[in-house]
Amino acid sequence: MSYFTRKQILTMLETDDGFLAALEREEIIISDAPPENEGEFSEQMLERARVAQNLIRDLEVNMAGAAVIVRMREEMAELRRYLEELLAEVRRRS
């Protein structure tokens, strides 16, 4: 898995540190890298930041709303994976 520094994320998102700090305050992103990459962010956090940025910029969702949507999006993806696994198990047993 790849990890990114704060500066790299700021560059990729073409944003400022205030936006990144707001994402952290809302716990949309957290530094989730292992100790050897302390303070860095995973690909998943980068994707969360991108989704939140698009929601805020393009759809004029506020930061709190973006946080809810990002979390719900991940929960739906987890549910989809679970259902696919369940369906595969049912097919295997049939």
pLDDT of 4 higher than 90: yes
Rounded Cα distance between 59 and 22, Å, is 18
Of 24, 68, 72, whose CA–CA distance to 49 is shortest? Answer: 24
pLDDT band at 94; cut points 50, 70, 90: confident
Q: Where do the domains of the chain lie? A: 3-93
Return the CATH number of 3-93, one of 1.10.3470, 1.20.58, 1.10.1660, 3.30.70.
1.10.1660
Rounded Cα distance between 46 and 30, Å, is 10
Q: Return the SS3 of 69.
A: helix
What DSSP element (H or E) covers 9? Answer: helix 6-13
> What CA–CA distances, in Å, run from 51 to 32, 67, 73, 84, 88?
18, 10, 10, 24, 30
**Residue pLDDT, tens place only, 7-51:** 999 999 999 999 999 999 999 999 999 999 999 999 999 999 999
Give me 73's structure tokens.
């999006």
